[in-house]
C-alpha cells in the first residue's frame, strides 16, 4: 500500500505536538544558548557602565594608565568575560539548528527526545562545513537588507529553507551542495513550502512573542525590565528630532523598545524546535517522494531493458555458433517460448 503524503497543516500540527510534548527537555536544552546570550550581553554592558563611571577615579589613582593603549587594553579585559559567555552561547544556539533536526528523527519514532550530546556531536564533528553553510546563509540575509535584493533573496530563502536539514542528514554534501539540494527539493513545491513558512514563521516570530509581551505588560513585567535597562541607556545622548517635528526620544522610550525586542527575541529563540521539527518533517516528505519517483523510474528502466526469451536464446545461439547460419528450428522454438 502506498504511503499517504502528509499535508502542510498535518506537518505543522505534528511539529507543534512534538514540541509541546517534549517542551521540558527543549526548554532545558536551549536555556544556556538563549539566556547565555542575554546574560553575556548584559554583563558586557553592565561592566562597561561601571568601568566608564569609575574611569576618572582609576586614572587619578593610577596615572600610568592615562594613555590610549592602556585604556583600550582595560576596555577589552573588562568586557572579555561577558564576550566569552555570549560567544559560547551563540555557538551552541547555532549548533541547535542542526542538532534538533537529528532529534526529530528519533522523536517521530519514539515520541520523545534524548541523548542531546550525541545529536550535537553529529554537527560539531563537521564544524568547517557547518560554518560554511551559515556563511552563505548570512550573505543572503545581508543582501536582503538592500531593497533591490529583498524580493530576490526572499524567494531564494524559500528555496533554501532546508539547507540545515540536508546538512544534518546528507553528510556527503558540502555547503554549496546543501543549497543546491534544497533548491532541487523545493522546486515544484514552492507554494506548499511558502505556506509552511507562513504558518511556522507567523506563530513563532509574531503570535507567541506578542502574546508573551501582552501578558508581561498586564503583570508589569515589561516596565520592570525597562527600568533595569534604563540606567545604562540613560548615559547615551538623547536623540533630538525637534527639527523634524518636535520629537524627542528619551532613554526611557528607548529602554521600552529594547525590552520589547528582548522579550520577542527570547521567545523566538525558545521556539526554534518548532521550526526545526517542521522543516525536518517537510524535508523527509519531499526526499521520500523524490526517492519513490527514482525507484519507479528504475523499475521502468529495468522492465524495459529486460530481454525476451527469444532474444536470450538468440544470444546463446550466436555465442555458440558465431557467425554461422542459424537453424530455422532454433528461431521457431524461440518464438514459441515468447508466446508461452
Structure confidence by residue, pLDDT tens digits, 98-146: 999 999 988 888 878 888 889 999 999 999 999 999 999 999 999 988 8
Contact partners, residue 85, CB within 8 Å, separation at least 6: 36, 39, 40, 43
Average pLDDT over residues 10-26: 94
Stretch (H or E) spanning 70? helix 68-110
H helices present in 111-247, as ranges: 116-124, 127-145, 147-159, 163-169, 175-186, 190-202, 208-218, 221-233
The pLDDT, as a whole number, for residue 335 is 52
* pLDDT for 332 beyond 80: no
For residues 200 and 281, the answer to whether their CB atoms sit within 8 Å is: no
Are residues 288 and 326 both part of a single domain? Answer: no
The pLDDT, as a whole number, for residue 45 is 84
- What's the mean per-residue pLDDT of the chain? 82
Establish if 2 belongs to a structural domain: no
Cell numbers for 96, please give them.
541547535
Are residues 328 and 208 both part of a single domain? Answer: no
Reported confidence tier of residue 237, pLDDT bands at 50, 70, 90: low
Are residues 235 and 272 both part of a single domain? Answer: yes
Are residues 188 and 249 both part of a single domain? Answer: yes
d(CA 85, CA 68): 27
Regarding pTM above 0.85, the answer is no
Establish if 1 belongs to a structural domain: no
For residues 103 and 119, the answer to whether their CB atoms sit within 8 Å is: yes
Are residues 167 and 221 both part of a single domain? Answer: yes
Establish if 89 belongs to a structural domain: yes
**Residues 145-176 pLDDT 10s:** 888 889 999 999 999 999 999 999 999 999 99
Are residues 333 and 257 both part of a single domain? Answer: no
* pLDDT for 239 beyond 70: no
Average pLDDT over residues 41-53: 85
d(CA 119, CA 25): 14
Total domains present in the chain: 2
Domain that holds residue 312: 307-340
Are residues 290 and 326 both part of a single domain? Answer: no
Average pLDDT over residues 192-219: 95
Beta strands in the chain (DSSP E): 239-241, 247-249
Amino acid at each position: 500500500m502506498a504511503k499517504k503524503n502528509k499535508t502542510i497543516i498535518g506537518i505543522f500540527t505534528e511539529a507543534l505536538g512534538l514540541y509541546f510534548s517534549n517542551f521540558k527537555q527543549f526548554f532545558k536544552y536551549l536555556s544556556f544558548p538563549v539566556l547565555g546570550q542575554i546574560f553575556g550581553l548584559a554583563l558586557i554592558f553592565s561592566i562597561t557602565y561601571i568601568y566608564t563611571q569609575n574611569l576618572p577615579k582609576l586614572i587619578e589613582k593610577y596615572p600610568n594608565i592615562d594613555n590610549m593603549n592602556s585604556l583600550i587594553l582595560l576596555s577589552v579585559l573588562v568586557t572579555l568575560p561577558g564576550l566569552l559567555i555570549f560567544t559560547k552561547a551563540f555557538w551552541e544556539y547555532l549548533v541547535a539548528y542542526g542538532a534538533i533536526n537529528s532529534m526529530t528523527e528519533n522523536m517521530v519514532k519514539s515520541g520523545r527526545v534524548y541523548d542531546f550530546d550525541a545529536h550535537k556531536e553529529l554537527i560539531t564533528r563537521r564544524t568547517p562545513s557547518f560554518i560554511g553553510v551559515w556563511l552563505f546563509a548570512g550573505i543572503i540575509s545581508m543582501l536582503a537588507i538592500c531593497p533591490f535584493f529583498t524580493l530576490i533573496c526572499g524567494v531564494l530563502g524559500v528555496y533554501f529553507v532546508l539547507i540545515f536539514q540536508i546538512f544534518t542528514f546528507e553528510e556527503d554534501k558540502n555547503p554549496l551542495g546543501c543549497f543546491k539540494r534544497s533548491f532541487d527539493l523545493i522546486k515544484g513545491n514552492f507554494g506548499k513550502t511558502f505556506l509552511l513558512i507562513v504558518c511556522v514563521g507567523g506563530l513563532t516570530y509574531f503570535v507567541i512573542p506578542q502574546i508573551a509581551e501582552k501578558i508581561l505588560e498586564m503583570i508589569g513585567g515589561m516596565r520592570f525590565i525597562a527600568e533595569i535597562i534604563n540606567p545604562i541607556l540613560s548615559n547615551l545622548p538623547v536623540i533630538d528630532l525637534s527639527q523634524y517635528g518636535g520629537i524627542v526620544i528619551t532613554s526611557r522610550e528607548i529602554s521600552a523598545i529594547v525590552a520589547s525586542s528582548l522579550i520577542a527575541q527570547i521567545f523566538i529563540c525558545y521556539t526554534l524546535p518548532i521550526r526545526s521539527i517542521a522543516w525536518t518533517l517537510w524535508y523527509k516528505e519531499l526526499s521520500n517522494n523524490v526517492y519513490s519517483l527514482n525507484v519507479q523510474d528504475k523499475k521502468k528502466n529495468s522492465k524495459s531493458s529486460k530481454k525476451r526469451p527469444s532474444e536470450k536464446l538468440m544470444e546463446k545461439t550466436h555465442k555458440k555458433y558465431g557467425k554461422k547460419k542459424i537453424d530455422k528450428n532454433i528461431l521457431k522454438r524461440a518464438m514459441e517460448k515468447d508466446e508461452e
